Amino acid sequence: MRIVALVPGGIGDQILFFPTLDDLKRIYPDAQIDVVVEPRSKAAYRVSKSVHEVVPFDYQDRNSLADWANLVGKLRDREYDVAITTNNSWPKGLILWLTGIPIRIGFQADAGFFLTNTVPVKTEQYLAYMYHDLLKGLGIQSPCPELTVNVPKSDIDWATQEQIRLGIKETGYVLIYGGSGYCDSPKGQARIYPAKSWSQIIQNFQEKQPDLPLVVAGGPNDEAFIKSLLSLVPNIKVSSPDDMGKLAAMIAGANLMLCTHGPALHLGVGVQTYTIALFGPTEPEKLLPQSDKFLGLKSPTGQTKDIAPATVLQKVWGE
C-alpha cells in the first residue's frame, strides 16, 4: 500500500501528526508512507520513524496553476492508494480529486465532496487526537498512541558531547527554550517570553538550587534573545542545537524544560521530559496531552509576555 498525507502547517503541526503516521505504520507495516509538507517544516521529519519520503510544497506561497499541476502530476505518478489531508479546504480537496487517488480522506468541510471518506472534526481536543481521528476514514478505531519521536544516534552522541562540554553530564540540568528560532510561525515573535522575565526565573533557580545547572537552548535566529539574556545573567550556559534531532536529544537529557509555545514543547512530550510551557492566546489543552509531566500556563491577557515570573515559579516549586 502507498499512502500520502498532505500536512500544511509548521514544525509543531508535523510533530503532532506523528501519532497518526505511527499508527498507520503499525497497522500497515509494509506500507510506504509519504508526506507533502511546506519546506519550512521538512526539518520535523528528522525525528520521525514512519515516513519514507518528504515531498516539499509551499502551500502558503502564491502558487501558479503550473505549480499545482506539478504537484498533481507528482502524486499521480506515484500511484498512491490512499491520501489523507489535515486541511481539506476546497483547493486541497480539488487537488486530491485531480490526482485520481482512489481513497481520499479528510475532515467534513466545504471540500467534502472531493473526498471519498470524511470524518467529523473535533477541534476542542488535543490536536494529535484530532488528527488521529482521520484514521476512522480507513475504519481504524484504535485509540491515539502517545506522541513519540525517533532521535538519530548521531544526535544523541552530539548531545552527550554537548553535556560534557557544558559540564552538566553528571549533574543533570534544567533546559530553557524561550526564543523563536524553531518557531516557524509568523506569530513567533509574539510567543517570546521577555529576557528580563526569564532572568528573574533563572536567578530564583540559582538561589534555591545552586548546584543544578540551567541551560538556555537557542535555535536559528535566536542570537539577539540569547545576547539579551546573557547581559542579564552572564553565567548562564548556552547550547545551540542546529536541528530537531539535536534539540530533542538535549531536551531528553534534561530534568525539566521550561519553554514557550513552539516545536520544543512537542519534542518534550515526545521524549517524556517534565515540561512547563507558557502560552499566549492558545488553550494549552489543545497542544498538550493530559499528564502530570506536562503543564501549560496560559496568559491572562493572551500575550505570553504577560505571564508573571512568580506564576511560573509557583508551578516549578509547587507552592
Q: What is the pLDDT of residues 58-102, one digit of tens each?
A: 887 677 788 889 999 999 999 999 999 998 777 778 888 999 999
Q: H helices then E strands: how many in the chain?
A: 10, 12
C-alpha cell at 278: 507558557
Question: What number is the average pLDDT over the span 120-149?
Answer: 96
Q: What is the mean pLDDT of residues 257-261?
A: 95
Name the percent of the chain in helix, strand, coil, to the closest 5.
45, 15, 40
State the Cα–Cα distance between residues 94 and 46, nearest whole angstrom.
30
Helices 309-317 and 195-208 cross at an angle (nearest 10°) of 30
Angle 124-130-135 (CA atoms, 0-180°, nearest 5)? 155
Q: Label residue 221 by pLDDT band (50, 70, 90).
A: confident
Range of weakest confidence among 58-67, 114-123, 194-203, 273-282: 58-67
Residue 54 one-letter amino acid:
V
**Stretch 40-48: mean pLDDT:** 96
Q: What is the H or E stretch that residue 104 is in?
A: strand 103-107
- Whether 153-317 and 2-138 are alike in CATH topology: the answer is yes
- Whether residue 46 is predicted with pLDDT greater than 80 in this model: the reply is yes
Of 85-99, 162-176, 190-204, 241-255, the range with the lowest mean pLDDT is: 85-99
Q: Which CATH class is domain 2-138?
A: alpha beta
Q: Would the pLDDT of 183 be above 60? A: no
Q: Which residue has the higher pLDDT, 100 or 181?
A: 100
Domain 153-317 in CATH 3.40.50.720? The answer is no
Map out the domains of the chain as residue ranges.
Answer: 2-138, 153-317
Per-residue confidence (pLDDT) for residue 220, from 0 to 100: 79
- Higher pLDDT: 215 or 182? It is 215
Enter the pTM of the model.
0.93
Per-residue confidence band for 110, with pLDDT thresholds at 50, 70 and 90: low
Q: Quick one: average pLDDT of 314-319?
A: 88
Label residue 132 by pLDDT band (50, 70, 90): very high
